[in-house]
Structure formats: C-alpha cells, structure tokens
Structure 1
C-alpha cells in the first residue's frame, strides 16, 4: 500500500507531500486542478519512461519518491528477493530523479537501481487504471500470482522461485567450469603443437646467434653490396687503382732489397 508520495519540481509542482491512510483515498478537485499531474508523477515513480520535459521550468531536476507498506506481501517480498533486494521494517521506498539535462536515475531503499527494476516492482505495487492504459491483469506474471494466491500456494510459489534460482546458479556454475575445461584443453593442444614445431625445427645450440647474424646481413644486404662494389673499384678499377699502386710498391721494395738486403 502506498502510504506517502513526495513530489518536487515535477511539471508545475514545486513541492508536494501526500500522506495516505488505509482504505479509500480520494483525490478531488475541479477540472484543470492538475490532478493528472500527480498521477503522472506516480506513473514515473513506477517505471514509466522519463523525460526532461517533466522537470519544472527553472529547476535542475524533478524528484518523485514513494513509501510503500509491503508487510505481508509474500509475492512482492519474493520478487524483491529475486532482485537481490530487501524491504526494511516492512517498507519499500522507491525514488526516481529526472535531470533537466536528460539524465535520470532510480533508487530502491536508497540503493541505486535501474528503471527496469523499479518498473518490475511498480507493476506489483500499484495498478493504474485509466483510458487506453494496460491493466495488470493482462500481465502473465500477475495472472500467475493471482492463481497462486487463489490456490493458497503463494509460499510454495516462493519456494519454487528460490529453487529455480538455485538451479540456475548451479547450471551457470557448471557451464562456467565446462567452458574453463574446454579452454584448458585448447591451451594444452596449442602447447603440444608448439612443442612439436620446436622438435621438428631441430634447433642446434648457438643457432639463434647464427640466425641473428644472417638476419642482420640480409637486413643490410644492399648496403653491403654497394660497399663491396666500391671497395672492388678502389682496388682494381681505373688508373691509380690500389692494386696497381701496391704492385709498384712491391716492385720497388724488391729492387731496394737487392741493393741492400739488410
């Protein structure tokens, strides 16, 4: 049951707090009294798509907060448990915030939540009936809840949900282990392949150094070829080649040796 609704800077509303009691609560007023704005704020709180146009002109953000008494609502408590949430002292507090810049956020009992989570809870908390609006009775989950309640099997349904969640967790854990085993097997095959490649290569000790020398030689092949060509030209080509000059020097040395062998 909704026991309190707080609205700030939503549409034309500056600040509004509604405290509701058990039984029938009527919101009355003449046409144009903006009663529909309160319903719109409640719809936003329950998961309706947020828009920056909801923010009051001149304000930075619009905030809608609702306090719900969920004591004794086994179906809702089970849904909270499925979502990893808990009611505090039998109360559930939903909060939606829409910024003028376009960003929107949601909280459940003070913890950040997605709009989808708020919507899932909102559909179980409040049933809004209006022109062209879908009713909760059209939702399969609501139909199951009604059937379980009629059969007085709400507790059993809660147990089934819990056991299904445990089974799903075990299934996911098993699949994760199987995936890890496949990954390790694939890694082992790859390592065996690498070992076979190394064995087939028949690498000798010191061969890496030899290959590095060859690689360096190939890397500078053009430079080495050009240098060898220039060296050959200096030694043997043209007049005044070093080979000719060395031959002349050797001949002169022979003549001098014959003159003075010492």
Structure 2
C-alpha cells in the first residue's frame, strides 16, 4: 500500500509531503492546478521516463520519494528478498532524483538501483489506468488479452506460445536437414578426398623439417664458423678461457680488500663457468654434425609437397594441419546430421502438442467468454446504457499462431433489437469511455498490485452515471488502495480520502496538496458541481452526495 509521497522541487511542487490512506482516495482541483503532480511523481518513482520539465524552475534537481508498506508473503516481499533489499520495517522506499541536465538516479531502500529494477518492483506495487486506455479497446488483441487476464489464463496461454515456438523450431530444423541432404553426399566425398590427400603430410611437422633443411643447406658455413669459435674459446695460443682464468687469478688476491672487487671476482667466476659450458656444448654440436645429401633430397621433396598442397588449398604450408583438423570436424558433423525422416516425425509430434495446448486454451476461453460477456453487459447497463449487450465472437484463424487458434472480437450494441457488431464500428466516444471504465474496474479486481491509479478515466460521464462509477470504485477500494484524479463530484463524494490540489501564485508559481476534512469536502464538492459562485443550493447538493456515500456503505 502507498503510504507517503515526498516531492522536492518537482514541477510546481516546492516541498510537499503527503500521507495516503488506504481505501478509495481522490485528487481534485481546478484546471491547471497540478492534479497530475502526484501521479507524475509516483510514475517517476516507478521507473517511468522523465524529462527536465519535472525539475522546478530555478532548481538544479527534483527529488521524489514514494513509500509503501507490504505483507511478508506478497510478491514484492519475495522480490525484495531475492534482491537482498528487505528489512524489518516492512517498508519500500523508492527514490528518484532528476537533474536539470537530463540524467537521473534511483534508489530502492537506500541502495542505488537501475531503472529496470524500479520498473520491476513498480509493476508489483502499482497498476495505472489512464483516460486514454479506451483506445486499447480498439486494438485487435485486446479482447483476447482481457479474457486471459480476467480469467487468469496466463499459464495455459504461455504453454501455447511455448508449444508453438517448439513446433516452428522443429519445422526449421527439418527444412535445414532437407536442404543439407541435397549437398551432404557431395560435400562428404570432397572432404574425404581432401583428408586422404593430407593424411600423410600432416604427420610431419613442417617447421621442424624446414629448419633441418635450412641447417643442411648452410652446413659448410656453419662448420667454418663453429671451428673459428672453438679456436677462439679454447684452442688458440691465446684463447678466451686462458685469458679469463688469468684475470680471475689476478683479482682473487685483492678480493678481500674490496667488496666491489669481490663481486667482480664472483661475476667472472660465473662467466668462466658459462664459457666452459658453452665450449663443451659447441664441441658436442660439431661432433654430431654431418652432411647427408640423401637426407637433404628427402627434406626437399617433403617441402615441395607441402608447398604444392598449400597452393592447391590456398593456405600457408604451416596451416595445412589446421585445415585438416577443420575438415575432419566438418565431416564428423555431416555424418551426425539427423535423418530428415526422424525430424519430420518430430515436426508431427510438436504440431500435435501445440494443437492439444491450443485447443484446450480455445475451449476454456470460449467457456469463460459467455459469463464474462454477461457480467460486462450487467455492469455497463448501470452506466446509462440500459439496452447494452456484449458477446465475444470467435473466428478460426487461417493459420494457427502463438496466441491460439481463434481471433476474438468483442461485439456490442446499445440499442434493443439491433444485432451486436464489432465495438470499433458502433460504439460512440461516450459509450467507449464507459465500456473502458467498466473493463478496467473488472480487470483491477484481478490484479495482484495493491495500488490502483485511475487518471481521469471518468471523462465523458456525469450525473447518475458518475455516481455509479464512484460506487464501483468505492467498492473496489474495500479490497485495494485506489488513487483517482477526477472532475466528477459524484465520484469524489464516494472517496474515503479527499486530497485537494491548489496552485499558489508565488514567484515562481507553486502547487500544494492537502487533505480535506468533512466541511472542506462539502465546499470542494459544491465548487465542482456549481462553479465559482457557491450557493446554499450547491452546498446542499454536496451534502446529499456525501450522504449517498454513507447510505451505500
């Protein structure tokens, strides 16, 4: 339940703090006073889009907070627990700060949150109905959605969508197998030939044989340089090993006299050890080397094969093994392709599963449509449409869809003896607004949200019809919290709490909202019915409207 709203520098509100009661709450005020202020602020807290117009003139930011109470087992309680945002207070605080630069920030129970998170929790808390909702009635999917929502057919409708998607997926898989079947045999033959041609070559390491061939090609130069190096290191009359040994002996006698000379002596000892190891390795390398013309010819032949195949398959010689592995994997996949006949059977099975789910959904929709149309007829008749009649028309679709087997139309007539026709063809604007109002109230009875917001949905009605609308909302307010903007005194008179919005000509202008006591409620109802000049007659009428509220209760 919405318990409190705080608005700071939000549009016309400089600083407002409003407590909201349970039950049926109305907001009234003169045109331009800012009646939508609370709803705009609430929408901002629920993650809806905002703009810089919400920031009060002369301010750098607007700050709004909405507080809600909740029960332990409610959907919002589970959501908070899942997101680790619950606390012992059993309260939800949604805060939104909108900056004059256009960006905004959001918090849930004091923790920075994203707008998507605000929207998630907002959908669990509040359901909004606007005066433009009647346009939804004219959209083709609306009757189907309305039946599903009111009759709680979400689960079977979801089953149908999933079964339809599974059926379509199996059709695509079958078609892909058929397409692949046409070229599969030819591609398998090609891959097998390619793999056979490379099977021996990929057993050889190209880089190793290329390096060995290069070494044999430069054998004479390598040996000449090795002999020269070995001579300089160890075999010449004045070689490096002898010279470094002499240097080490000369420094050794002075190592104890200087720490730095000791370090140099140690480094030279290490270098001597490294040079001796290198000399030994060089001798070992030279002993193992021999020039083999036959081996060189063999390597050259292998390299020619690599280069020929690389040109043939338009790749680099060292990448032939990678190509071989790629072809091998493709061949395995082609061998594992499902048989089109097996997939065709899967298409049939998934189609049967879809038809079973869709037929069940179609049947329960048809069964629910009859009493639902009667209930809608009875409710609308009260709104100055005594001859109203509704029925749902089911027409089989040419092709089944993810929404079922039938197109559903809402048919209506307001005149006795006239056949019901599609709503969009025969309903006037006034009739449409009343029908939309009843359908929204009926839907609201089924929603899980604990707060319902009605934004001037009573436009186009007056008199006794408005009084009945007020009673409908008042009855609904016994089960959920309602926040309603209205211009109708008959609707406002039925409310449990009456909030008045007034504009003050400060600089800049500002709006204030406050709760009315019973005497002030009579004054406001009189203004709504009688205009600027309030007479005793309008006051008496206002008192009578309030008495009707208590008599109905």
TM-score (structure 2 length as normaliser): 0.26
Residues 200, 133 of structure 1: CA spacing in aligned structure 2 closer, same or farther, 3 A cutoff?
Answer: farther
Q: What is the aligned partner in structure 2 of residue 79 from structure 1? A: 79
Aligned to 1:88: 87
What is aligned with 1:4? Answer: 4
**What does 1:14-53 correspond to in 2, within 5 Å?**
14-53=14-53
User: Residues 197, 62 of structure 1: CA spacing in aligned structure 2 closer, same or farther, 3 A cutoff?
Assistant: farther
Where structure 1 has 5 or more consecutive residues not aligned to the other structure, the ranges are 149-192, 212-262
Return the offset for 1:111.
1.2
Paired residues for 1:238-257 under 5 Å: none
- Taking a change above 3 Å as real, the CA distance of residues 119 and 36 of structure 1, as seen in their structure-2 partners, is same
CA contact (8 A) 1:108 1:118 kept: yes
Counterpart of 1:68 in structure 2 is 68
> SS where residue 59 of structure 2 aligns?
coil
Cα separation, 2, equivalents of 1:31 and 1:42? 20
Contact 1:51–1:102 (8 Å) recurs in 2? yes
CA apart distance, 1:112: 1.3
**How many Å separate the matches in 1 of 2:149 and 2:206?**
62
Aligned to 2:123: 123
Deviations 1:188-242 (Å, cap 9, x if unpaired)?
A: xxxxx9x9344233356xx9xx99xxxxxxxxxxxxxxxxxxxxxxxxxxxxxxx
Q: How much does 1:87 deviate?
A: 2.1
The 8 Å contact of residues 61 and 100 in structure 1, kept in 2 or not, is answered as yes
Structure with the bigger RCO (C-alpha within 8 Å, sep 6+) is 2
The reply to whether residue 202 of structure 1 matches residue 201 of structure 2 is: no
Runs in 1 of length 4+ with deviation above 4 angstroms?
143-148
- CA drift of 1:122 comes to 0.9
1:7–1:41: 8 Å Cα contact kept in structure 2? yes
Structure 2: distance between partners of 1:55 and 1:133: 27
Kindly indicate whether the alpha-carbon contact (under 8 Å) linking 1:71 and 1:91 is maintained by their aligned counterparts in 2: no
State the shift of 1:120 in Å: 1.5
How far the C-alpha of 1:36 sits from its partner, in A, is 1.1
Q: Give the secondary-structure state (helix, strand or coil) at the position aligned to 1:128.
A: strand
Q: Which residue of 2 aligns with 1:110?
A: 110
Query: CA contact under 8 A between 2:60 and 2:99: conserved in structure 1?
Result: yes
Alignment check: 8 A CA contact 2:92 2:108 kept: yes
Distance (Å, rounded) in 2 between the aligned partners of 1:121 and 1:63: 19
Deviations 1:63-108 (A, max 9, x none): 11111112235222233345x2432221111111110011111111
**Counterparts of 2:13 and 2:93, CA distance in 1:** 21
Q: CA deviation at 1:18?
A: 0.8
For residue 129 of structure 1, give the secondary structure of its aligned residue in structure 2: strand
Distance 1:126 1:51 in 2: 21
8 Å Cα contact 1:77-1:86 kept in structure 2: no
What is the RMSD computed on CA atoms of the aligned residues? Answer: 3.4
Q: CA deviation at 1:146?
A: 8.7
Query: Where do residues 121-200 of structure 1 align in structure 2 (5 Å cutoff)?
Result: 121-133=121-133, 147=152, 196-200=205-209
State the TM-score, normalizing by the size of structure 1.
Answer: 0.51
Q: For residue 43 of structure 1, report the CA deviation from its aligned partner.
A: 1.3
Q: CA deviation digits over 1:146-203, x for unaligned, max 9?
A: 949xxxxxxxxxxxxxxxxxxxxxxxxxxxxxxxxxxxxxxxxxxxx9x934423335
How big is the shift at 1:22?
A: 2.6
Q: Aligned residue pairs: how many?
A: 158
- Contact map agreement 2:95 2:108 (CA 8 A) in 1: yes
Equivalent-residue separation in structure 2 for 1:133 and 1:119 (angstroms): 20
Does the CA-based 8 Å contact 2:3-2:68 persist in structure 1?
yes
Change (3 A) 1:77 1:12: same
1:24-83 CA-to-partner distances (Å, cap 9, x unmatched) read 33333333321112211111111210111211111011111111112235222233345x
| 8 Å CA contact 2:85, 2:108 repeated in 1 | no
Aligned mates of 2:107, 2:45 — CA distance in 1: 10
Note if contact 1:61-1:99 (Cα within 8 Å) is conserved in structure 2. yes
CA distance in 1, matches of 2:103, 2:63: 12
Within 1, Cα distance between the matches of 2:92 and 2:8?
A: 19
